[in-house]
Structure 1
Amino acid sequence: MPRRTKIALAVGGTVVAIPLIAVVVLLNYDWNHARPWLNAKATEALHRPVAIRGDLTLSWQKQPVAPSERTWRDWIPWPHLQARDVHMGNPPNMTQGDMAAAKSLSFSLNPFSLLHKEIAIPELRFESPHVELLRTDATTNNWTFVKNPPSKWKMDLDRVVFTQGVVHLADEVEKIDATAELDTLANDPKYSIGWKLSGNWNKQTITGHGKTGAVLALQDSSLPFPVQGDIKAGLINVAAEGTLKNPVHLAAVDMHLKVGGASMARLYPFTGLVLPETPAFTTQGHLLGNLAKGEAKWSYEDFTGRVGDSDISGKLAYQQDKPRGLMTGNVRSRLLQFKDLGPLIGADSNASKEARGVAPNQPSDKLLPVEKFKTERWTALDANVTFRAEHIVRTKQLPVSNLYTEFHLKDGVLKLTPLNFDFAGGNLASTVKLDGSGNKVKDAIAAELSATGKHIKLKELFPNMPQIQATVGEINAEAKLSATGNSVATLMASSNGELKALINDGTISKLLLEQMGLNIGNVVLAKLFGDKPVHLNCLAGDFAVEKGVAQTRTLIMDTEDAVVHVNGNVNLASEDIDLTLKPDSKGLRIVSLRSPIYVKGTLKHPDVSIDKGVLAMRAGGAIALATLAAPVAALAPLISGGSEKDNNCAALLAEAKEKPVAPPPGKPLSSKKAIK
């Protein structure tokens, strides 16, 4: 054989032998000797300690690639490593210990990427992982992998596949200490992993269960990750089913969501959204989230549900922004139960408060709610939300409909502009401003109310009472109040302003007042007229409110039997009543109308008595009565606001301007005129 041929064969044999020898060596090499090198490179890439403590084995696998996309590199098998008893520690600035551990992990390694100092792993499989997620403050956690100082090696991980295991979250920021136990599911075409949740969130017990997919895509954000779960946290229940995109960074959410609980206000720890106190509620709808960092957007679309016994539906959206997020939306109710509005101002029972997670602090002897408003939450976001209720039902039915209001919350100032509704053939138009920013008054609300009621028909107010259907009278009223406080009780106790009302041509009875819930009027009526219905020509009232005391400027009632003048005040701070009714009989047939009536006691427990020692005299023995001319002038706008035809209040107040009437016996007349 020629020498050149021998050389050529030797070179060719060497070329062939080297890779064959390399393959034999690689297949028979004890890869446990490579653990220190792999540990060091993984530690350098992840900036935290990584240790393979068990056996390390190697096999060779071709990567699955579609024939149309295959290149020459895809014919070369990749090394597939399996490591047992793998541990990854916490970053240097946190408590040392394992962030994650697994019974085994396996992955294929792209050999070509190693030439560029890149550890490229298409898929990482964990068996029985145990993960400890820790967060100690807003900027320190163990799940953020920092890139500084830069490493010569970098990690490129595409997706994670896991089987049964445990994930524990200890978050000191959100006050969460919860554990999820994972297990594989058999014969489920959509979900591969089942989970059970237990622990605490904001000192409330949290439990839950659900299912997820097994493949967690880290690079392909378009690959949806299926999630289904039911969670109970304290007084809130949440059920959701849908998908997450790029779940590690929560890039997007698309789920059907059902939420229920004792009060919408209890959602604040979970959502950061300021929602009102409500009765028990449940809603379900379509939740969409686009969670770009610093610009997250959420929308809860086409939701329906119930709050107490009232139905609700609509759409809400939240936009993350600076200095605070903005919530917008439209909410409507076809049938709103009036009693379901009670928790908004704390006007529900102590048992109801306890059920919705609020301390049952309403004193048994107080009528005005003492539950404090949580104004510290009002600066958490801004809001522009409209609410419309087509029909409103009270326990004793009142004809209220078409409530419409717009909630505008900005910089801690809540405005209801407008707050309008139709009422018994008339309407009530109002605006409310509640400044809870703390700029004016610390830890309290500076409140302003302006309201006008017009053309409220008495016969429509009580459509089920035959004795009132022949009346043609109306109610017209105005209120302007300002106050400072942190509850309804403290707001009323500091209120200033005025209240005015005229009722023209109607019928009143004990039954009517019972339907209105006016216990004081009910008792007074029984003392004056017995239980019979009484025709009311006019009722005119004008109160000045100063530092929580509502003082009568004018309060006069004209019936077919008598004209009744009322003097005194109602102290809204102490809830004490001090009113004196002086009836002036139109006929001698009603002897009981000659005695003054005193209304004392409290708003919750009024006490009505008659002074039998003082008789109402007419003509020569008349009681002196205070002049009504000046106070009556203040009620003139309400007369013009009503119907001028058959307006008995106009005649009554015109007569009152000319006719002097007297203070209690022993005090001088305030007019030179005498009663004729």
Structure 2
Amino acid sequence: MPRYVRILLWSCLGVLLALAIVVALLATMNWNMARPWVSQRISQVIHRPVEIRGDLDVDWLRPRKESEGPRWLPWPQITANQVVVGNPAWADEGKTMAEASRLIATIDSGALFHRVFRLSSLHIEDASVLLERNEGGAVNWTLSETTEESKTPSKWTFDLQSLSLTSVRAQVIDATKELDFQTEFDSIAEPGADGYGLEWKAKGRYRQAELTGEGKSGGVLSLRDGAKPFPLKGEVSVGTTTIGLEGSVTRPQSLAALDVRLTLAGDTMADLLPLLGVALPETPPYETEGRLIAKLDGDADVWRYEEFKGLMGKSDLRGTLEYHRRKPRPLLTGQVESRLLRLRDLGPLIGLETSGMEKKEKKASDFKQPADKALPAKPLNTESWKVMDADVQFAGEKILRDEDLPLDNIKAHVVLSDSVLSLKPLNFGFAGGTLANNLVLDGRDKRIKADLSIQARHLKLKQLFPGAERMDASFGELFGDAKLKGQGVSLAELLGNSNGELQAVASRGTISRFLLEAAGLNVANMVMVQIFGDEQVVMDCLASDFAVEDGVMRTRVFRLETDDAVVDVEGRINLAEERLDLQIRPQNKTVRIFTLRSPLYARGTFKNPDVGVEKGPLAARVGAAVALGVIATPFAAILPLLNVGTDQSTGCSSFASAKGDTGKAAPAKQEAGKETQQSNREQQIERTDDAGEKDEAGFPKNITP
């Protein structure tokens, strides 16, 4: 054999022997000796102390078909036991960021030639991870020491192709949100077509409330495809609030979009503020279900709760709402409908107190109504008006109001813009008739500015008076108009400096002491007793017209006509001081009633009214005026209410035909009443001026028939 052949053979044998020795060493090597070196290198990469406390072993596998490297190059499968990753220096001592009983990683060695660190598979078993944010906002999951490091692109890329979890627990502690919960994950053995790859269970606390939940989601690796929806299904309970959802999330890392079937239930919607970031009022227990669609784009997020149905207390709600996140305030829009609403359920949404909510919100600093005040003096809270804007349409079939009459056929358009709340319109059926309202409340300043208009039509007196149904009597209808403007911090202040007018006409009714007492009309009840005693009286017509200036109501017209008498009322009502100053002048239409010869007065406060018989010069003066028939009654201002457009007579025909004096005085008595006549003529001019600008027919332009 030639020498060069022998040299070549020995060289090949040497190489093969060296390879055999290397393979033998790798196969039989005690890899535990390499644990310090491996731990140190990993620590340098993630800037966290890493320690492999258990065995470290390497097995060599045949490359898979999809490998980009040579088929003869084996893949190492590394098994590390008892791996511990430490926390940053600011974290509590004794806590670790991650611990795993076993990590099994298979590396595609062929991909290393292309600067790709590819894990063909990674299995994590019996592991725990702690994700923590301290009160200063620092987090332990940021692994780079400096921002410059994160900006420098790496020449290597990382690729994880398969991940499986067995008994993996993740604990989240967020001191800024008072959140502390733990979630356990397990891989689903055979993921189905629905895309679910993980099962999870959660338990912990959120702001002193117990937190529990369970569900399933897409596999961790499906998070890599940001364009593909990530499936999610689960139910979470936080205290008394339960949230259930089923649907998908786009790019969960940044939450780009959401499309889920959402169910909510809880004791009060106010508890949703920390969960949803939406300020909602205290409410009765509720539950709702609908489709939640979100398009999230920084400061222009849009959340749409579509075709939801739910209950609040015993009230039902359904509709579609959109929440637009924008500056300077978010906007809530939509349409809401209801078949049945109870005012005690609806009250918290519109700022009204209910008995249940009063107990829940009671504080030592709660406002107490002054004992001498009848009008509500509690300051109106407009702070919630600054939280968001709103444009919501509402339609309801019926609203129940505890002991009061129900409302029906409700139509409302609620607009809230820059602390200005408007309800245009706020229309509903009431007492067999209708109430058409327009209300604007400007809450930009501490003193609210209010602008209110009300139009009442065909309100049935039989339904308005409690107990009237039990009486064998006929009852007519009530018509009214009101226009008021005012400002203040409470309802009492708003009325106390208001300006405008009030007009009302009631026809063909039966009144009695029993009815007035049941209705809580104390002054009217006392006047009734003084004039008619305890008798049941048939009322042909009642007409009233008040001018309101700086919170003082002055009578332009106030007349009650019955079968036997005509009663005129004149004077003023001070809403700011809640005081009465009225003169009541009854006139006989028949000779059988003798108690009507003396005028009456109504004075005192709303809380403590005083009704009695006038005596002395004032009684004589008023009596002379009545006898002379020179009391002017400008009914033109309320003709639209006297003539309500019905085919039947209202019983107020004598009022509608009145054009000035109520009668003619005898010549012999005219001189005696000259002074009174002149005084009343001056009052008539003032009332006519107050009626406002008139049209060609002589009627005020601001009154619509």
**Given the two structures, how large is their TM-score scaled by the length of structure 2?**
0.76
1:376 CA drift (Å): 3.5
Query: 1:102 maps to which residue?
Result: 98
1:507 corresponds to 2:510:
yes
Q: Percent identity?
A: 29
Query: 1:554 maps to which residue?
Result: 557
Q: Structure 2: 5+ residue runs without aligned partners?
A: 191-195, 666-672, 683-705
Change (3 A) 1:70 1:33: closer
Could you list the per-position Cα deviations for residues 443-489 of structure 1 after superposition, in whole angstroms to 9, with x for gaps in the alignment?
34332222222343445667972658744x43222222223334434
Change (3 A) 1:513 1:591: same
Among 10, 13, 16, the alignment partner of 1:6 is: 10
Distance, in Å, in 1 between the alignment partners of 2:288 and 2:501 is 44
Among 353, 357, 363, the alignment partner of 1:348 is: 353
Distance, in Å, in 1 between the alignment partners of 2:63 and 2:335 is 51
1:572-651 → structure 2 map (5 Å cutoff): 572-600=575-603, 602-603=605-606, 605-611=607-613, 613=615, 622=626, 627-630=631-634, 632-643=635-646, 645-651=648-654
1:330-341 → structure 2 map (5 Å cutoff): 330-341=335-346
> Residue 658 of structure 2: SS of its match in structure 1?
helix
> Residue 506 of structure 1: SS of its match in structure 2?
strand
Could you list the per-position Cα deviations for residues 171-199 of structure 1 after superposition, in whole angstroms to 9, with x for gaps in the alignment?
54xxx213214457999999854333324
Change (3 A) 1:467 1:489: same
Change (3 A) 1:274 1:665: farther
Contact 2:61 2:75 in 1 (8 A): yes
Contact 1:331 1:388 in 2 (8 A): yes
Among 303, 309, 322, the alignment partner of 2:308 is: 303
Query: 2:430 maps to which residue?
Result: 423
1:403 corresponds to 2:410:
yes
Larger mean Cα displacement after TM superposition, 181-190 or 52-61: 181-190
Letter in structure 2 aligned against 1:670: S
1:296 CA drift (Å): 3.3
Contact 1:345 1:487 in 2 (8 A): no
Query: 2:181 maps to which residue?
Result: 180
Aligned residues: 643
Contact 2:165 2:185 in 1 (8 A): no
Change (3 A) 1:609 1:519: closer
Query: 1:382 maps to which residue?
Result: 389
> Residue 35 of structure 1: SS of its match in structure 2?
helix
Query: 1:32 maps to which residue?
Result: 36
Distance, in Å, in 2 between the alignment partners of 1:89 and 1:374 is 48
Could you list the per-position Cα deviations for residues 380-438 of structure 1 after superposition, in whole angstroms to 9, with x for gaps in the alignment?
333222111112334456363210112222333322222112334543222222233x2
> Residue 638 of structure 1: SS of its match in structure 2?
helix
Query: 1:46 maps to which residue?
Result: none
Change (3 A) 1:177 1:419: same
Contact 2:523 2:611 in 1 (8 A): no
Change (3 A) 1:585 1:97: farther
1:314 corresponds to 2:313:
no
Larger mean Cα displacement after TM superposition, 532-541 or 160-169: 160-169
Contact 1:259 1:282 in 2 (8 A): yes
Query: 1:238 maps to which residue?
Result: 242
Could you list the per-position Cα deviations for residues 250-282 of structure 1 after superposition, in whole angstroms to 9, with x for gaps in the alignment?
4536244222334x455445434354565x131
Distance, in Å, in 2 between the alignment partners of 1:466 and 1:331 is 38
Change (3 A) 1:156 1:8: closer
Change (3 A) 1:185 1:104: closer
Contact 2:63 2:75 in 1 (8 A): no
1:41 CA drift (Å): 0.9
Distance, in Å, in 2 between the alignment partners of 1:545 and 1:240 is 55
Query: 2:288 maps to which residue?
Result: 284
Distance, in Å, in 1 between the alignment partners of 2:271 and 2:627 is 60
Distance, in Å, in 1 between the alignment partners of 2:91 and 2:97 is 16
Contact 2:449 2:485 in 1 (8 A): yes
Distance, in Å, in 2 between the alignment partners of 1:452 and 1:170 is 55
Could you list the per-position Cα deviations for residues 272-317 of structure 1 after superposition, in whole angstroms to 9, with x for gaps in the alignment?
4354565x13122035243534243333344333334432222323
Letter in structure 1 aligned against 2:562: T
Distance, in Å, in 1 between the alignment partners of 2:60 and 2:572 is 92
Letter in structure 2 aligned against 1:380: V
Could you list the per-position Cα deviations for residues 154-176 of structure 1 after superposition, in whole angstroms to 9, with x for gaps in the alignment?
7667879574757354354xxx2
1:164-563 → structure 2 map (5 Å cutoff): 167-172=171-176, 176-182=177-183, 192-200=199-207, 205-213=208-216, 216=220, 218-220=223-225, 222-232=229-239, 237-242=241-246, 245=249, 247-251=252-256, 252=258, 254-262=260-268, 264-265=269-270, 267-275=272-280, 278=283, 280-290=284-294, 292-294=296-298, 295-343=300-348, 346-348=351-353, 352-356=357-361, 360-363=366-369, 365=371, 366-396=373-403, 398=405, 400-436=407-443, 438=444, 441=445, 443-458=446-461, 465=469, 470-471=474-475, 473-510=476-513, 512-513=515-516, 516=519, 518-563=521-566
Contact 1:388 1:403 in 2 (8 A): yes
1:520 CA drift (Å): 4.5
Contact 2:438 2:453 in 1 (8 A): yes
Could you list the per-position Cα deviations for residues 13-66 of structure 1 after superposition, in whole angstroms to 9, with x for gaps in the alignment?
5456545544544846422222111111112xxxxx45437457344487999x
Query: 1:134 maps to which residue?
Result: 133
Letter in structure 2 aligned against 1:6: W
Change (3 A) 1:166 1:12: closer
Letter in structure 1 aligned against 2:304: S
Could you list the per-position Cα deviations for residues 300-336 of structure 1 after superposition, in whole angstroms to 9, with x for gaps in the alignment?
3443333344322223232333444332222222122
**Aligned residues: CA RMSD:** 4.6
Distance, in Å, in 2 between the alignment partners of 1:412 and 1:257 is 31
**Given the two structures, how large is their TM-score scaled by the length of structure 1?**
0.78
Contact 2:330 2:389 in 1 (8 A): yes
| Higher RCO (Cα < 8 Å, 6 or more apart) | 1
> Residue 465 of structure 1: SS of its match in structure 2?
helix
Change (3 A) 1:129 1:562: farther
Change (3 A) 1:464 1:536: closer
Contact 2:336 2:394 in 1 (8 A): yes
Contact 1:347 1:369 in 2 (8 A): no
Query: 2:692 maps to which residue?
Result: none
Could you list the per-position Cα deviations for residues 131-173 of structure 1 after superposition, in whole angstroms to 9, with x for gaps in the alignment?
3532657x8766677865424377667879574757354354x
Among 79, 83, 86, the alignment partner of 2:84 is: 86
1:107 CA drift (Å): 5.8
Among 663, 670, 676, the alignment partner of 2:679 is: 670
